[in-house]
Chain A
């Protein structure tokens, strides 16, 4: 019901979160309509002109207690049936890295640095002393053997469809929040801590374009935590590929490394 308003859902767990928000709103509407109907009736029925003498006792019925118990029961169902299990899946059941696409995202004022381990599957070392905003924003050590083939992009996250993506999220400066509205993912990026967040996209960018009838539809990355004056424009893009397209994209990115060229971070 409510999901007409949400950004188009495109991850495996999105449907359950949307369903849960629906159920909470059914409860909210039910309580509000009960209060509201009672309220309107009482205001008409017991206005001074119609009821010049008030009753000292008022309501004797225990109906409101049953209502309150019902609210408590529904809240219990929401907790035990929806929120706690969904949350546990989000934070406790992170899939194994070998079956997933693993990337690091390093947030900074005001961009998302996306860091891939490259063909060896291992992230290279990094150090703040190597940071150069133009040529090496993540401070990657290219002399480290594991780091030689690492790939980084700015504001461009590419992942394959139908496979879990694990993002190890951190920040260089202040707190940002990594918001993928279509994936129903939001996680603060906290300096000094690396936090894993995962999702399994189930619609490629091409498929969502078809589904929404909008040939320009893009999955966006938004910053959801005030991080300074350009917070409002800290926008990135998520592209969901088929597995083959994703490999082709990775190969293309890797070719820039061996080709001796600069990283192409505006592709």
Chain B
């Protein structure tokens, strides 16, 4: 009798003592993978931000040598430290690509989704742990490909993150590397999406019905469906554009082109607009991939720190699902000025106005959730609260762009840049910071420092607006995006190009404002205030697991008995009632 017991004990011990590689590098534990995704995402966010800071020098002081680092870029990019337009375009295209596909998505979906969702579901891990690992390593390959493309002889891709054909088909820069990188990144997202959906369907703890699911999980599920259904067309389009580049096909190239005085030797017959349709069929849902997880995080943090249930949970969920569905029907509002007839434009601007309604409902419900609360202003809450008005500006400035007639003067101006940066920078990024401060104790067992957190939030809030609000003004004045001199070539832009100095200084100050975060992040891993299982007195399941949560997550059976936000329940002796009862503490 003693033998098998010992054997099983030995087996358990073996299980605990995984090698370093198995535990931290090629791990199948959703939490380790979540941390890998998060760290990769944060590193790329910083890198993408650095690219933008270089661009902001050129915009503020066009034609003047870049200080300090100008000599690093060589004569091909910046002779005498002065940025060439090709270098500017390279920075622009790669800033967008990196921020979207290697910064926000890995952090918001790969990072938070992987780490938090199985815990909130009461699951021991994701449904397919090895596919989970594979999806991270595809992301890693995509990241390496994108990063390495900067060292190609003609630099990285420089045709905008949208890579419109035929420019991207004939460009001499690293567009092929961009496409190969994108194919890796898309594969990563597809594998992740399948895993997320299966996990949510199959691995919910007993009693965790759909209407007891935390809003964050709903956001991740809808996001996973968007990735699963929207990315394949872009993967196909990426392969076609790659064929145009390396096999001289003409999927996106019409006949009779003359480039630089030479007739382009192609059979022709392709359509440049086909690329745009395939691209935006992904890239509009992608916008919701960037924002829905952020809304999920904000909802969790607001419920927790207002100490009351979310207002209108059901309408939040229905709005979210409707938003996800509608996001497949609005893509061509990015293409109003490609020569669209009135039937198409009527359809797409109507769907665009319709999709604004669930967004208004979600944001209004989050505002209203605060009413009657007992609001704690800790760092996660400050970032979550900061998200609300910033996303409000981002969403509202989408309206004139979504109406085709108003879009005529505003299309491809800085108004667009201001609009979507309000959505993803002080919007999504603030939500991601809220999430980092909020779930840090679950990852490390320690809280981050509150003082440094506030020193991170307030300057970030001020300087984010300093960067992005003037963009709306420039856009109304007609200044186009993607101009390597910030628009000073044009007289009509003359009045407002002066704002570029203030915006650039704000951007650099915004970088300084991230220093407290970086110090706080690394310092708190070892020296932060120790956190127990549930430092925020929260209700959702992840807070029933030990901090940090071990392999397999929970040290007790989880049976869910109630909804996700049972805060300040009348008659209860404490102001929160967790979804499942805690057996051990």
Contacts and interface: CB of A to CB of B under 8 A. Distances in A.
A24 B311 contact: no
Contacts of A55: 308, 372-373, 568
A79 B345 CA distance: 11
B384 interface: no
Contacts of A185: 408
A12 interface: no
Interface in B257-282: 257-261, 263-264, 268, 271-273
Given A46-B375, A131-B261, A182 B492 contact: yes
B168 to A, nearest CB: 9
Given A5-B476, A7-B492, A232-B483, A54 B389 contact: no
Interface string A215-256: 011101011111111111101000000000000000000000
Interface in A19-44: 20-21, 24-25, 27-28, 31-32, 35-36, 38-39, 42-43
Contacts of A75: 353, 356-357, 399
Contacts of B340: 91
Nearest to B480: A224
A56 interface: yes
Contacts of B399: 24, 27-28, 75, 78
A230 B489 CA distance: 11
Contacts of A54: 306-308, 372-374, 567-568, 575
A174 to B, nearest CB: 4
A226 B167 contact: yes
B50 to A, nearest CB: 22
B256 interface: yes
B89 A226 contact: yes
A169 to B, nearest CB: 8
Interface string B324-345: 0000000000000111111001
Contact of B166 (A16, A39, A173, A177): A173
B370 interface: yes
Nearest to A195: B339
B412 A35 contact: no
B371 A133 contact: no
B126 interface: no
B568 A17 contact: no
A231 B484 contact: yes
B367 to A, nearest CB: 6
B350 interface: yes
Q: How large is the interface on A (under 10, 10 to 19, 20 to 34, 35 or more residues)?
A: 35 or more
Contacts of A232: 85, 482-485, 487, 489
B221 interface: no
Contacts of B345: 84, 87, 91
B89 A229 contact: yes
Contact of B412 (A21, A78, A224, A229): A224
B110 interface: no
B256 A192 contact: yes
Contact of A88 (B261, B342, B364, B485): B342
B491 A217 contact: yes
A180 B248 CA distance: 35
B489 A235 contact: yes
Interface string B346-363: 100110010011001101
Interface stretch (A63-71, A97-105, A143-151, A153-161): A63-71
B392 A32 contact: yes
B403 A79 contact: yes
Contacts of A140: none
Nearest to A16: B405
Given A71-B356, A226-B482, 7 more contacts: A7-B478, A51-B372, A68-B357, A128-B256, A131-B263, A174-B259, A232-B485
Interface of B: 84-86, 89, 159-160, 164-167, 170-171, 254-261, 263-264, 268, 271-273, 306-309, 311, 337-342, 345-346, 349-350, 353, 356-357, 360-361, 363-365, 367-377, 385, 388-389, 392-393, 396-397, 399-400, 403-406, 408-413, 473, 476-478, 480, 482-485, 487, 489-492, 567-570, 575
Nearest 4 pairs of A and B residues by beta carbon = A192-B254, A55-B372, A86-B405, A232-B483
